[in-house]
A and B are shown apart, each in its own frame.
Chain A
Amino acid sequence: MNSAMLLWAVFLPIGTGVLCFLIPDKAKRFREDFTSIAALASLIISTIVFLGPDAHFQTAQMKFLPASFLDFYSSDFNSFLIVFVSFFGFLVSLYSIKYMDGMKRLREYYPYILITVGAANGALLSNNFLPFLGFWGIILVTLFLFTTIGSRDASPEKIFNAASKNMLILGGGDLALILGIGLLWQLSNSLNMSEISIPLHGAMATSSFILIATGAFSKAGAMPMHSWIPSMSTAAPTSTLAFLPASLDKLLGIYLLARVALDFFELNFSMNLLLMIIGGITIIAAVMMAMIQHDVRKLLSFHAISQVGYIVLGIGTGTTIGIAGALFHMLNNAIFKSCLFFTAGAVERRTGTANLAKMGGLGKMMPLTFVAFMIAALAISGVPPLNGFVSKWMIYQGIIEAGIAQSWIFLIIAMLGSALTLASFVKVGHSIFLGEKPHELGEVKEVEHSMKFPMAVLALICIVFGVLAQIPLLYFIGPVMGISFPEIGAAIVWTGFWNPTSGTILLLVALAIGALIYLAGRGMGMRTAPPFIGGETIGEGTTNSLNRGGRLTEPHETRVLGTEFYDTIRNMGILKRAYSKGETGSFDIYSLGKYLQPIGWILSSWHNGRLSNYVSWILWGLIVLFAILAFIN
């Protein structure tokens, strides 16, 4: 029964997605409800698969296909991932109802969500490389199509550029993946994932590993295959950013990386070191870029890259706790990053802008969005007792276990990375929610319930997975790694120790001390008064005469822009040069494309649009094919 559930988990979302295309634009409400219900059904099926025993499904021998072509199986690893894939699909479909309201091409948008969920489930559950690659490709296509739908403020040219960049970088990554799998097939003589486990010896195995890892890196967005995420961030709808680059692509990319690094190959020291170096560079370079961004979506997209660095670093440690931490961080990152994108989308919906300089003081008007943002931002910065801290802490334990005398530099980089992460979220918090509201921004309301719900749920999970970290560790991560984690209430002990539950309780007790002091002093009352700005009074009109003398007293005129917070750092000697290079795309693998342009010229010169030309090409191709076939036989 459970093995049939595997088929349902893959083909129910895909099937309902295809059906969803048929729903006409007039039945808008029905389409939205249909998508949410289908995603919910997929969530239920995935949960059944997760709760059930490991299952296996194989097709029998067919005429054209080899036996066990469709070969699905569920294990401890992929079964919890499909739960989260469907969960994010459900939240995104709910969020989109209001967020995407009034956008074009909604008739395609909702089906794509369901198809993506199904394809992601398919890629995760596949045991055979061929269907795996098929599903993997579908996700690239839907990502491309999502990007072409475009965000509200993006110009067609920008959307075109971003979409083609997605296609090229991710397509290149997928090409590397296919080549890597081909080499792996040569080496192991099997396309069956569960059968492959070979030592990493020789050039062929190493290049196969690097090629497959490149595919995983491009999906997850690790450097140097990262640059599609920032360009997509300003071109695509924010809901799709929360869906693909922030959550699903991370889960898939890291799933592949973990499989290749743990199951297919037995890594050696130099490959581990390579992974750690890539992780370290990704953490620090991406977060430095994030700090200086003015567009909240772009800023978040750089964090989406930076956090992958932690995961790659954790896997690179090669220690059990480091890898467990990396997998936990993969999950946590998907949770808080999509929550952050959701809050950014909510703010964007209400203010019509994603420019940090044009917002401010929204915390009062959008309280739930603000609280969800704060929780997710502190979680991503690794502030205890939230979930990001636990997984980072586990990765650090892994680094120390890998040999502190050699790997201290990665520890310092990773810890400094979280201070820098905090810094860039301080900037966002000040610019959007705290600080001063700009005059141009009128009255702003909180978003609708269907948008609040996903943010609130994800923020809540950030707290639960932090304070009661034993729950995800016991049920999701522990079984994958074969570690038994302690029960709730006990400390997680490794080289060091951290007791999230008692730590939180004691923090709350200490807060209660503060509350008592507050109650002791509150008797004196409370009143509001205008902010004190050098003794000048702030009022409507009264200060206009003073303003003419060059003195600014209206709060919105003395607004300190969050976007200027780190100009000091940006303009520092060597950093200034690095930043100007980063901004012009010198570190972007995509810009290497210009060296390939001559090939493009040759290829485009062949495409002259003359029919006879194409017919002759087809003929020549057929002749070559026949020659090869004849030669083989």
Chain B
Amino acid sequence: MLFSHGLMDIFYLVIFPGFIFTMTIGLLSTQIDRKISARLQWRVGPPWYQPFADVVKLLGKEIIIPEGSNKISFLLIPFVGFAAVILLSTMIWLANIYPDSSFVGDLIVIIYLLYLPSIALIIGGSASRNPFGALGASREMKLMLAYELPFLLATFTIVVKNGGIISLGGILNYQASNGAMITQGASCIIAFIVALFYIPAKLGEGPFDIAEAETELASGPLIEYSGVTLAIFKLTKSMLLFTVPIFILSLFAKNIWTPWTILWYLLILFFIILIKNTNPRLRIDQALKLLWFPLSGLSLAGIILAAVGL
């Protein structure tokens, strides 16, 4: 019984909704991103299989390790972020499919697991012995501090609103009986808007692509990565591109286990792509100011509204 239960968990993790599923959709999402960005810039854009081809090609490249770097940390850390995203995606989907089951952890666990991909980027950049990598790492950490405050406020607006339900399945059940969170008053609408800003910041997409900043830091933390390790970082990022919006949708827009989710997800994806292509990159101090003052102020107002019942 216990064994078959464990086997089932591993199936969830590896095939659906974990690794294979998340990776496929994630890579397809990056393809949508690349195609739309190309069209916005009057280019043709890559063929549909390009992201997959990129990963396969990277798997066929040799790994170059920077001389005198911390080899073990440098090689190991990309996989930590990768593993965390797989687990996260599985947790979020299973909460949607079986809201009553308790798989691994609650909302707090999800928020803390979301640290790991960023930690991977930071330690990777720091271990690479490259000054650009180190600069990128420090920017990623600061960016993380910047978006964490408004994001926490926005997420816990929901918890305040639903009276302290902290498991994702519980939040979905609450929404099933009371209607989607976003329809429940001004506080939740504010929280949703703030959460929308969180997505590009977490993903490091423009205008928050401050850590990688291709034109300044030549990909920052990723500068020394190549071959499989770079492929792992790319996969992590594309899986996050799928997982983070799905997480936000589960929090705000009812159960995602419906066809409507595809439309919702595409809308969010389009929003990210649009912002990314129309806004220049912020400096790190500008990002800090934007996320700490106007956006945190807004979400603070939201959570206070929720606390008084609006």
Contact = CB atoms under 8 A, between A and B. Distances in A.
Interface in B188-243: 218, 223-224, 227-229, 231-232
A528 B224 CA distance: 11
A431 B127 CA distance: 11
Interface of B: 6, 9-10, 13-14, 18-19, 58-73, 78-80, 82-84, 86-87, 90, 102, 104-109, 111-113, 115-116, 119, 122-123, 126-135, 137-138, 141-142, 144-145, 148-149, 152-153, 156, 159-160, 163-167, 218, 223-224, 227-229, 231-232, 284-285, 288-289, 303, 306-307
Contacts of B164: 400-401, 403-405, 495
A502 B231 contact: no
A404 B163 contact: yes
Nearest to A552: B131
A506 B9 CA distance: 8
A495 B90 CA distance: 21
Interface string A271-304: 0000000000000000000000000000000000
A15 interface: no
Contacts of B116: 383
A529 B67 contact: yes
B152 A412 contact: yes
A496 B108 contact: yes
Contact of A408 (B84, B132, B160): B160
Interface in A477-498: 491, 493, 495-498
Interface of A: 361, 363-364, 367, 370, 378, 381-384, 389, 393, 396-397, 400-401, 403-406, 408, 411-412, 415-416, 418-420, 422-423, 426-427, 429-430, 433-436, 491, 493, 495-499, 502-503, 505-511, 513-515, 517-518, 520-522, 524-534, 555, 558-560, 562, 564-566, 568-569, 572
A309 B283 CA distance: 33
A405 B307 contact: yes
Contacts of A436: 129, 131, 134
Given A412-B303, A525-B62, A533-B131, 17 more contacts: A364-B71, A408-B303, A408-B307, A422-B115, A430-B138, A435-B129, A436-B134, A499-B104, A505-B6, A510-B87, A514-B79, A521-B63, A526-B62, A527-B64, A531-B133, A569-B145, A572-B288
B127 A363 contact: yes
B165 to A, nearest CB: 8
Nearest to B159: A404
B105 A496 contact: yes
Contacts of B112: 382-384, 389, 418
Nearest to B128: A531
A427 B126 CA distance: 10
Contacts of B86: 510, 513
A423 B79 contact: no
A384 B128 contact: no
Contacts of B223: 532
Contacts of B306: 405
A11 B70 CA distance: 48
Given A497-B102, A568-B142, A528 B66 contact: yes
A434 B145 contact: no
B133 to A, nearest CB: 8
26 contacts: A363-B70, A382-B112, A383-B116, A400-B166, A401-B164, A405-B164, A415-B148, A416-B149, A419-B148, A422-B119, A433-B70, A436-B129, A496-B166, A498-B106, A499-B102, A509-B13, A513-B82, A520-B59, A521-B61, A524-B227, A528-B65, A529-B66, A531-B130, A560-B131, A560-B138, A572-B288
Contacts, number: 261
B145 A565 contact: no
Contacts of B60: 521, 524
B172 to A, nearest CB: 14
Nearest to B89: A510
A610 B187 CA distance: 74
Contacts of B71: 364
Contact of A568 (B6, B65, B134, B288): B288
Contacts of B90: 506
A393 B123 contact: no
A434 B14 contact: no
B79 A383 contact: no
Contacts of A520: 59, 228
A530 B223 CA distance: 12
A64 to B, nearest CB: 56
Nearest to B82: A514
A434 B133 CA distance: 11
A518 B229 CA distance: 8
